Amino acid sequence: MIKVAAIPSKGKDLRVFIDFPHDLHRDDPYYVPELFMAQRDLLNPAKHPFFEHGRMQLFLAYKDGKLSGRVAAIFNGNHNTFNKSNDGFFGFFDCVDDQEVANALLQAAEGWLRDQGLSTMIGPVNPSTNEACGLLVDGFDSAPMILMPYNPPYYKKLLEQYGLAKQVDLVAYALYDTDLGDKPVRLQEALTARLATKGITIRPFDLKHNFKRELEQFGKVYNAAWDKNMGFVPMTKAEFDFMGKDMKLIADTDFCLAAEHNGEVVGIALCLPDINQVLKKIKRGRLFPTGVFHFLLGRKKINALRILALGVLEPYRKMGIEACFYATIMKKGREKGFNMAEASWMLEHNDLMNRAIEHMHGVRYKTYRIFDKQLS
């Protein structure tokens, strides 16, 4: 017998919701537990600014009295306003390999979305495309990078047999230091000089002394440079502030770059050390009492980066700014002992960016899928 219960975003039920994947995937060598505190805040309407324009209902599924799955049904007001749509979403999907359980969970999410008057069911997003999103459908032979999702292969079957179909694929590229060569770094000086003649400079973000201003500049470019991407949702100032405080704890300013023209930021590159290499060792995502020592000591051994965002305002594209960003990241990465970077995620049909990364010998090594289903 399967029972699906709607739960509040607080207290014991929320802890059960957050902890379920730890038990489900405890024998999977590539599973990385999310930090408990971060997940608790992300799902808490009193803490996370997503809830200033969104709503969410969490569900837990029990089969014969045993916890067997979880899912969230999500309304994203900013998405629908910006895209002039009436979309609903699901996310935080985790389930045992049982189609009946998966169906019951997804039916509960679909029912909630219908009650909100929404026309589609899209996901998984956790809780939007500005956070971890997509279902891993290819590349199960390694752990996910920071802020990227992970799931076992059977999830794809569960979603498809429920009636969800592919909307779009998101691609992750691996850039290995041994394959990159020295050409980008050799060209960097000439490109930098050429940009300087146009009044454009590349510099690291000053997160120590001008954090608020830098975050504001980052937000302006992010919302403008990605606004034509499928599924894009502009982030609010409160969301940028929330994100920035979290990322500041792990960011390395050598990999947080700005292209500036006449005092205004016109391009950004944000790379983060792959803290997942450390989180794998933190049991159930708890920093305390002992996890914090793994966190602090393990950071020095990280050898991979994720290129999380790299974008330039439209009037400044194809001037060499992007190449300078990559060259700077490559040079600093080698100096600091990083031997691999992941560029993610890219829309499968973003030919310009995909060709550019492949030209640098980037290898498509993971694919994530967004599914959808019409509700009316």
Within this chain, do residues 210 and 143 fall inside the same structural domain, yes or no? Answer: no
Within this chain, do residues 194 and 325 fall inside the same structural domain, yes or no? Answer: yes
Q: What is the pLDDT of residue 144?
A: 98
Average pLDDT on 297-304 reads 89
Within this chain, do residues 56 and 156 fall inside the same structural domain, yes or no? Answer: yes
Within this chain, do residues 243 and 339 fall inside the same structural domain, yes or no? Answer: yes
End of a domain among 171, 206, 224?
171
Domain of 342, CATH number, reads 3.40.630.30
DSSP state of 235: P
Q: What percent of the chain is predicted at pLDDT more than 90?
A: 78
Within this chain, do residues 130 and 146 fall inside the same structural domain, yes or no? Answer: yes
Q: What is the pLDDT of residue 207?
A: 84
Within this chain, do residues 60 and 133 fall inside the same structural domain, yes or no? Answer: yes
Give residues with Cβ within 8 angstroms of 325, minimum separation 6.
202, 257, 259, 267, 269, 310
Would you say residue 38 has pLDDT above 90?
Answer: yes
Burial class (CB in 10 A: 0-12, 13-18, 19+), 359: exposed
Within this chain, do residues 97 and 232 fall inside the same structural domain, yes or no? Answer: no
Average pLDDT on 337-349 reads 95
pTM of the model: 0.95
CB 30 within 8 A of CB 24: no
Full domain range(s) for residue 62: 2-171
Average pLDDT on 282-308 reads 87
Within this chain, do residues 219 and 362 fall inside the same structural domain, yes or no? Answer: yes
End of a domain among 148, 171, 194?
171
Encode pLDDT of 160-210 as tens digits: 999 999 999 999 999 998 888 777 778 788 889 999 999 999 999 998 888
> The tokens of 290 are what?
């002992």
Encode pLDDT of 149-174 as tens digits: 999 999 999 999 999 999 999 999 99
CB 87 within 8 A of CB 75: no
Encode pLDDT of 59-80 as tens digits: 999 999 999 999 999 999 999 9
CB 17 within 8 A of CB 70: yes
Alpha helices in the chain (DSSP H): 11-24, 36-42, 77-83, 99-115, 154-162, 177-180, 183-197, 211-225, 237-248, 276-279, 291-298, 321-335, 351-359
Within this chain, do residues 158 and 179 fall inside the same structural domain, yes or no? Answer: no
Within this chain, do residues 84 and 16 fall inside the same structural domain, yes or no? Answer: yes
Q: What is the pLDDT of residue 135?
A: 98
Structural domain total, the chain: 2
End of a domain among 132, 153, 171?
171
Encode pLDDT of 77-117 as tens digits: 999 999 999 999 999 999 999 999 999 999 999 999 999 99
Within this chain, do residues 260 and 155 fall inside the same structural domain, yes or no? Answer: no
DSSP assignment string, 297-309: HHGGG--EEEEEE
Within this chain, do residues 206 and 136 fall inside the same structural domain, yes or no? Answer: no
